[in-house]
Structure formats: C-alpha cells, structure tokens
C-alpha cells in the first residue's frame, strides 16, 4: 500500500498541475481574443428615378505612395456633391484607380468612374450601399466632365444608412372629451 501512495501522489499532483496549466492557457487565449466585429448595417432602400451625387456615400483610400492624394480626390468629390465618409490610407497596394462597391450599386459605381481617367470598377459583397475609391501609384487624374446624376435601375436606390435615426413626428395625443 505504501508503494501505491508513493506512486499515486506524484501522478495525481502532476495531473492536477497539467489541468491547471491547460485551464490557465485556455482562459488567457479567450480573454485576449479579439472581439467579433459587428455585422454591417444593410442599406436603406428608397424609391428614386434618378440617383444624384449627394446620394452617393464614398470612402477615398490611398493605396499608393503619393502623400495627400486621397485628400485631394476627396476634395474633388466633395466639390461635385458626393458625400465623403472617410479619407485615409489602405494596406492594399494598387496601381490604377479602382471604384469598388456591390453589384446593387452599379449606377453609383458608373457615376464615380466617370470622374476618373482610367478607373476600373470592382465588385464586392458589401451590403451598406457605400462605395470605395482606391487611388494608386498610377493615378491618372480626374476628368472634367464627370456625371453627377444617373438613372436608377428599377427606380430603386440603396442608400448608406445614417449614423443616427431620423426623428419621427410625434403621435397625436388624444384629447379628453366631455
């Protein structure tokens, strides 16, 4: 019996130590894991026969090495009525000008493409109705005759959701009758 205790006690203690180490590593891994990103807010579908530039929400990203290029492009788009959501740099290195958005935003993509020389259109699976313009090292400049309105396919447009809800009119209050 004494031999059993001499062998069983260290084995049991080593097993408990291994369980403690495994639990601590599992806890640390889950504690330091990044939080899941929120799902994107889908666009707001509206009836419209024509899409104008103020209905297009765009992010301008610099994928090249020219300092301040995204800011200059954003200023051009803002002067033409587009809503510029954000300007900045991207880790993605691009050579040409890319106008990127969902296939549902094809009219918006075409409108933006008309503002840039040599721009190409790329599609992705975004659902928020926004469009990205990526400018790169081979940026050729803006055209002088960019389109600021275009026909909405099917009479419907997918607008970028506003960050805050629009106030609704208050419900009429019932007045007491005598």
Q: How large is the average pLDDT for residues 63-80?
A: 93
Is residue 48 predicted with pLDDT exceeding 50?
A: yes
Instruction: Quickly list H helices, the chain.
Output: 2-31, 69-79, 106-113
Average the pLDDT over each of 21-30, 64-73, 124-133, 159-168 and give the range with the smallest value: 159-168
Residue 178 binned pLDDT confidence (cut-offs 50, 70, 90): very low
Residue 177 binned pLDDT confidence (cut-offs 50, 70, 90): low
Q: How large is the average pLDDT for residues 47-70?
A: 92
Is residue 174 predicted with pLDDT exceeding 70?
A: no
Is residue 16 predicted with pLDDT exceeding 90?
A: yes
Chain segment 116-170, per-residue pLDDT in tens? 999 999 999 888 888 999 999 999 999 988 888 999 888 888 888 876 555 554 5
- The CA distance from 91 to 139, in Å, is 17
Chain segment 75-111, per-residue pLDDT in tens? 999 999 999 999 999 999 999 999 999 988 899 999 9
Please answer whether residues 108 and 101 qualify as being in contact, where contact means their C-beta atoms are separated by less than 8 angstroms.
yes
pLDDT in the model for residue 144: 81
Residue 20 binned pLDDT confidence (cut-offs 50, 70, 90): very high
Please answer whether residues 115 and 58 qualify as being in contact, where contact means their C-beta atoms are separated by less than 8 angstroms.
no
Encoded tokens for 64: 């090249």
């Amino acid at each position: 019996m004494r031999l059993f205790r001499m062998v069983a006690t260290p084995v049991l203690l080593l097993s408990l130590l291994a369980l403690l180490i495994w639990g601590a590593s599992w806890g640390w891994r889950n504690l330091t894991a990044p939080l899941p990103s929120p799902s994107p807010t889908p666009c707001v579908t509206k009836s419209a026969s024509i899409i104008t530039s103020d209905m297009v929400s765009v992010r301008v990203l610099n994928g090249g090495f020219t300092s301040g290029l995204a800011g200059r492009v954003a200023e051009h788009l803002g002067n033409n009525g587009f809503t510029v959501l954000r300007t900045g740099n991207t880790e993605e290195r691009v050579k040409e000008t890319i106008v990127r958005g969902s296939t549902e935003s094809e009219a918006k993509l075409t409108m933006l493409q008309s503002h840039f020389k040599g721009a190409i259109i790329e599609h992705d699976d975004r659902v928020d109705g926004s469009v990205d313009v990526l400018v790169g090292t081979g940026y050729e400049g803006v055209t002088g005759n960019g389109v600021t309105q275009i026909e909405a396919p099917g009479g419907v447009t997918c607008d970028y959701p506003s960050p805050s809800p629009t106030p609704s009119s208050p419900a009429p209050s019932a007045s007491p009758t005598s």
